[in-house]
Structures are given as structure tokens and as C-alpha cells.
Copies of this chain bind each other. A is one copy, B any other.
Amino acid sequence: MPDPDILVPAADVTAFATRLLDAVGVPPTKSQLVAESLVAANLRGVDSHGLQLLPYYLEQIEWGDMDAITDGRVISEIGSCLLYDGQNGIGQAISDICCAHAIRIAAASGLGMVVARESNHFGAAAFWAQKMADAGLIGIVMCNASALVPPWQGKEPRLGTNPICMAVPGGEEHPWLLDMATTTVAAGKIFKAKINGQPQIPPNWAMDAEGVPTTDTETALAGLLMPLGGYKGSGLAMMAEILCAVLSGGAMSTELGGIRFRGKPVRVSQMFLAIDIARFLPVAEFRARMDRLIRIMKTTPPAKGYSEVLVAGDPEWRMEQERRKSGIPVGPGTWKALCEAGERLGVRAPVR
């Protein structure tokens, strides 16, 4: 039996995370932003992009692999397009500035596209797309990531899980929000199958070390993640790689580091596209149309074995309502790492 999760109220764990970041020299507004972005992912149930990242962020800063202070700088802004140099700053700090630029430019000219290079892990893409949606715009976010996935028909990692994310302002229905890796599943799902003692995983999740599809959990763990739907997933990952890294002049594919590797920067690139709805039709009309589309989907008769049809963002929105009340369950491994960091840095954990 693994240790149980530690249940912590969102506010307490946000404060704890903020103080840990303060303690390694992150300026207060940046500490707060990073903590909020991670806890937001936990609230939505996306624990892979929540507090479990914080120990790595702290290490990156303590080792000098990431610059806790810099705001990065604008390289160029020409018309609707802005190129940003993250200067190896904290991903969330860079993304916050880039999002603000995208929103500002879209407000001025209808579309704003910001591409940042030399950035770092920015948490969940959803946090940034939502920021644009909260400003009444359609927000599209992509990034490249450490090479963990082979291109289709290959057997060595050359692409990241490169996510594609879009958020749309909501009407009466809660906001539609897609945030998906371009692999069939996240690596965490295969780990979870092992932890839960499941010897088999569904087809199309993973491949063995020779790139042959497998449903054996152990083989998959020693193997490779499968691109979503085979060649299509590789195509979508390349789309993100091109719009982020090729266009930014940043690190591509195997040139990236990773948050779990010490001694070199991550060098990730990120793309933020904001679309001003009002240039096409009145925002109220758009919101009403979104409601109608969502309802068309949600009133589809459910397939056998399901009780309802959901749209992108539904499961996470429900989880957030629940966790705002009940608190965030932090996994025992993550909790231990956070508490150890707290002891090292002289920051007291909120519980135990």
C-alpha cells in the first residue's frame, strides 16, 4: 500500500509554494505567479503539471540552471508579431509577459502572436490560454518540450509531448478549454498502470524500445510513448515545434534540456496567439453560439457504457469545484520532496 495523499487547502499550499520560491531568491511577484499557476493545475486535477514540478524548479534555480530574476526582453515587434527572448527566465514569468503582449497586440490589431525562445517550463498551457480567454479573446498556446517521443516509424525520441491548447470565453456554459499533449497519453498514465498493478495497457498508448506497439505495461515503461494516432500525432507535435521553436530561432528537438537534468538550461520555446472575437462578430453573440455548440454536443445520446457526453474542459472544471472545497491531494512523493525542500530552505510546511 503506498502512503495516502496529503490533503491541503489550495490557499495554504499556494502560500507554502510561494515561500519556497521566495527562499531560493525568486522575486515576490514571480513566486506568487509560479505558485498560483502550479496550484491552478492541481485544482483542475492536472497533477502532472502542478506542485510535483516545484521541487525541480527549485533545483533549477539553486543550481543556477534557470535565472530567477530576469523578465526577458522583446527582440522585435513588427505589426501583429512579437519575438521574445526569455533569457532563461522562469517560464511562468516569461509567459505572463508574453500573454500580456499578445492580448495588447490583439486588442490593437485583431490578432497578436508572441513567440518566446530561451524560456523554461511554464506549467500547464491551459493557464496561459485561460488568461487570454479571461480577457475576452480566443487564446491558443503551444510549446515544444524535451524530446521524449519518437517521430512515427522511428525508435528514438526526437519530439516532446508538445501540447496544443485553446481556450474560449464562456457564455452560460463554463469555458471550453482544450489542453492536450500530442501523444496518446501522458507518461504518467503508464506509471499509474504499474502502480495500480495492471499488467496490460490499452493499444496505441506505447511502443517497446524497438518502436513496436505494445500493450504490456512493463515493456511500455522501458519503451516509448506513442504519438497520438500514429503519424497524425507526430504531425501535430511538429506543428507545435515549427510555430514555437523554428519560428523563434530557439532550441529544437534534441537541443532542449529538461527540468529533471541539471547543469544546462531547458531552452523551451512557447507560442501565444490571441484572437479578438469582436473583429468577427459581437462577443455576446459568440458566447451564445458557443453555448449552443456545447449544448449540441452535450445532448448527444451517450455511447453504451457512458452516462453523458463531455466537452473539453468539463472534467477539469468539475474537479476544480470539488478541490476548491476539499483541498488538493498531494501525492506522498511530491509532499516529501516539498517538505525536504522546506527543511533545507527554512520554510515550514502548512500541515504535519
A-to-B contact residues, CB < 8 Å: 76, 78-81, 83, 108-111, 113, 115, 138, 150-156, 158-159, 164, 166, 168, 176, 178, 180, 184, 203-204, 207, 210-212, 228-229, 231-236, 238-239, 241-243, 245-249, 252-254, 275-277, 279-281, 285-286, 289-290, 292-293, 296-297, 300-306, 308-312
Other-chain residue from B138, B178, B247, B285 in contact with A249 (beta carbon distance below 8 A): B285
Other-chain residue from B150, B232, B296 in contact with A300 (beta carbon distance below 8 A): B150
Other-chain residue from B109, B184, B309 in contact with A79 (beta carbon distance below 8 A): B109
Q: Flag if B111 contacts A81 (CB, 8 Å).
A: yes
Residues from chain B with Cβ under 8 Å of A80 in the complex? 80, 109-111, 279
Given contacts A155-B304, A238-B311, A249-B289, 16 further A-B contacts (CB under 8 A): A80-B80, A80-B111, A81-B275, A113-B275, A150-B300, A153-B306, A153-B308, A158-B296, A159-B297, A166-B239, A211-B302, A211-B303, A228-B228, A238-B293, A246-B293, A247-B281
Closest 8 CB pairs of A and B: A211-B303, A154-B300, A79-B110, A81-B279, A81-B110, A210-B304, A79-B109, A178-B235
Closest to A313 in B: B235
Q: How far is the CB of A303 from chain B (nearest CB, A)?
A: 2
A-B contact pairs, 30 of them (CB 8 A): A80-B109, A80-B111, A80-B279, A81-B110, A81-B279, A109-B109, A113-B275, A115-B280, A138-B242, A138-B247, A150-B303, A151-B300, A152-B309, A152-B310, A154-B300, A155-B300, A155-B302, A155-B303, A164-B236, A168-B242, A176-B238, A180-B232, A180-B235, A211-B304, A212-B305, A228-B228, A243-B275, A247-B280, A248-B281, A252-B289
- Provide the bound-state CA to CA distance between A168 and B115, in Å: 17
- Provide the bound-state CA to CA distance between A110 and B304, in Å: 48
- Provide the bound-state CA to CA distance between A289 and B252, in Å: 9
- Provide the bound-state CA to CA distance between A153 and B300, in Å: 9
The copy count of this chain in the complex is 2
- Provide the bound-state CA to CA distance between A210 and B300, in Å: 12
